[in-house]
Every structure is written in C-alpha cells, then in structure tokens.
Chains A and B, each alone.
Chain A
Amino acid sequence: MRNQIIAKAAAVAMTALVPGIAFAGGPVDDELVIDGEIQMITRAAPPEGHPLDEVLSGWLYRTEETRLLETDTFENPGMLEVQDGADLWNTVDGSAGKSCASCHGDAEESMAGVGASFPKWDEASNRPINVELQINKCRTEEMGAEAYKFDAPEQKALTAYVKHQSLGTPVAIDLAEGHMQSWWEKGNELYYTRTGQLNLSCASCHEQNNGNYIRADHLSQGNVNGFPTYRLKQASLVSLHNRFRGCIRDTRAEFPAAFSDELMALEVYVTWRGTGLSVETPAVRQ
C-alpha cells in the first residue's frame, strides 16, 4: 500500500513538472507495425489463470519517439547487433569445424517461430533451457566450442538473431513438457516474493502499478517478449537475465546468478505472463 502511494505521488510530481502534457497514465492506444508490413500483437487476451485482464507489451508504455525507433528495422539500433548474430550464425567455431548453419541451414527458415516457444524443457539437464543455454549446448556438444560466458557480446547477438526470426510470432510456451509446470510454480512464487531493502516484489511494480510512475520511470507489465532488448540507457542489447538482475538490484537485494534455478524459474513464469504477445526482438526501450 505504501509503495502504491509513493508511485502515485511520483506520478503527480511528474505531472506538475510538465504541465499540459498527458504524461501520467496507462498504456497508449497505438499499433505497432514493423516496416509497414509486420502487424505486431501488443495487446493479447490473457492465458487461463493470469491475474490481469489484458496482456500488454511494454512498447505501449513508451513515448512516441521511443516507439518509433522499433517500427523500422533499419532505424532500430538493436539490428546492428542482430546483424552481428547473423555473421556468427555462419562462422565456423570449435574442433568439429561447424557453424550454426552447418546443421541448421538458413536461420530464416530453420529458426522461424522457434524463439517464441522458449524456454523449453530440456530432458538431458532436467531443467528448462532458454535460447542462450541452447546455443551453449550446441556449441559444447555439437561444435566442440566453448560455451559463451554470460552476456558475452556473441551470446547477446546470436540470441537476438535467433529470436528475431520469430518477429511477430505470438509467445507460446509449453508448460505440459517435462516438469515445466513445477518451474512455473516456483517462478510464480518468486514473482510475488518481496525482496531487498525496499521490500518490493515483481508484482509490486509490474502488476499493481503498471501505468504508474516509479520516480521518472513509467512502469510496464514487465513482459519479456522483446528480449534481448535495445535499451537507450546502455545503447546496446540487454539480455533478459541482465534485466532481471537489474530489477532485483533496484530493490536493493542480492541478485541470483544468471541462468540460476531462481532466474530460470522466473523466466518460465514471466514469459508465460506475456503469452500471446508478438516476439519483438530486438525491442527498443528507454
């Protein structure tokens, strides 16, 4: 309750700062069409059991200038790194003398829609696997190459390239696979667990206060359909686990390691919360 009051006060302060501009308030009424042809789903009906009435893309919470950067794949600065990913896809690496393309051919065909269904259940490791870990699995098991370290530029670029092949495809993960449901439940629990000196849960901001301001930030529902996302702040692609850690750090809590059980469970659950939204990778955010 106290947090809600703070957020509302911040919104009021912002309105006072910029009189005459419709600044506070919820998502905009706008349509995301990329390159004038790909109609993106930014509002979706929630899956069964979802706490919100409508699932909304974070794109709807950004200013017009930020929104416009995502509507053109040439102007989107995240596409520079996606292009690096395309080059990596075709680059031989490791003792087996293979590239991604050696097995998967043309990514535009073989990877179409694939990114929209991650994370998936991985029987071998008995846990969910995301695109980053799937790439590392291919590298170590098939290519004889070293796994990319967390947030290596190559990892972000190749992940973004693979996910970009699903641009426009609605997010749909299969919770019936393996033990996905129990990881969903663990993620669900973490989502509502307050952490840090500020005592905030994910839900404090992104469920109870989306559309409000926390200081100068217009809170979205925190959906992850655009990751890796180009953030204006970093002027580069930001991975999902980096963002998770950033949010947790902002609550002034110790944050878990990337790809740890905690963050994988959170990825399963938060991805599910964005069910039905188009994959936007690379989305552009503030």
Chain B
Amino acid sequence: MNLTRRQMLCASVGAAAAGVFGFSLSASAAPEATAESIKNFAGGKEPAMGGDLTLTTPEIAENGNTVPIEVSVASPMTDDDYVESVVIYAEGNPNPDVAVFHFTPMSGAAEAKTRMRLAKTQNVVAVAKTSKGQVFMDKKEVKVTIGGCGG
C-alpha cells in the first residue's frame, strides 16, 4: 500500500460516512454504474460535456444530509425545441440515482433546484436531453464534511 496523504484522508472520511449514513462502503456505487445509466438515458449517444447545461453545487457541503443543487439548461423552450429532461446522479452514493426532472415548453425555462444527500466526497453528474435529441452533461465534485460534533 502506498497511499498519498489525500487518499488516507478520503479513506477515513469514507469510513466516517459509513457510520453516519449506515451505508457500507462496499455497497457504494462505482462510477461505472453511473456511466451505464447515462448510456441508457442518452439512448447510446455520447453526451457533450458542458455546453448549454450548468450544474451548480457547493464546493464543500457542511453536511451531506442536505446539499443544495441547481440545474439550468440554456434553451428557447418552444414547442419544437425544448429540454425534455435532466437526470442527476451521485457517483459515490450506494444508489447513484438522485432525481429526474421533466420539463415542457410550459416550464418557460429548463431550471430546477433541490436538496440532496451525499454519502461522501464524490462527483455529482447532470445529463440533459432536448426534444431535438441533443445530450449534454455536466459534472461537479462536492467535498462532504464529515467528522464534526454530533447533536
């Protein structure tokens, strides 16, 4: 074993997360599971990174129980050109699925905010699909603070 200092820290944070959330680390989903889900969602297309989709997350979440996130896709949102759906994954959660947002031209804007749970420091991934078949992706790492004072 030749762990860097950062890997050591991450490992201990992960162990703490398992205690807090009652997840076992072995149950933690690998990024491959997320990649597979994205493939299904995108209908086999390779999503374009960034572009019209913006995923906004905190760099550091003070508590993994409540992490505010926001997705926004630049789109005219007309009857023949609108964002159909945006899916959110958390690569390092026991189950990477988080939410799927479905928009219509009546949404006016392809924007949504919610609050999510993160078991440990990991990537959050958003993928958007438009009515014209375009697929966009954005990814942000969120560092989850674990090991504070209990209540």
> Which A residues are closer than 8 A to B by beta carbons?
13, 16-18, 21, 23, 62-66, 68-69, 77, 214-217, 231-235, 238, 242-243, 246-247, 249-250, 286
Contacts and interface: CB of A to CB of B under 8 A. Distances in A.
Q: Ordered nearest first, which 10 A-B pairs have the shortest CB separation?
A: A217-B148, A286-B62, A232-B63, A232-B66, A216-B147, A215-B147, A65-B58, A216-B145, A246-B151, A286-B63
B58 A233 contact: no
Contacts of B67: 65
B48 interface: no
B59 A214 contact: no
Interface string B57-90: 0111111011110000000000000000000000
A219 to B, nearest CB: 9
Interface majority SS (helix, strand, loop, mixed), chain A? mixed
Contacts of B5: 16
B9 to A, nearest CB: 6
Interface majority SS (helix, strand, loop, mixed), chain B? loop
Contact of A238 (B58, B143, B148, B151): B151
Interface residues of B, number: 21
A23 B147 contact: no
B6 interface: yes
B149 A232 contact: no
Contacts of A62: 62
Nearest to B68: A65
B23 to A, nearest CB: 16
23 contacts: A17-B6, A18-B59, A21-B59, A21-B60, A62-B62, A63-B58, A63-B61, A66-B63, A68-B68, A69-B66, A214-B148, A231-B151, A232-B62, A232-B63, A232-B65, A233-B63, A233-B150, A233-B151, A235-B66, A242-B151, A243-B151, A250-B150, A286-B62
Contacts of B143: 17-18
Nearest to A284: B66
B61 A65 contact: yes
Nearest to B69: A65
Contacts of B148: 214-217, 233, 286
B144 to A, nearest CB: 9
A235 B67 CA distance: 12
A243 B66 CA distance: 19
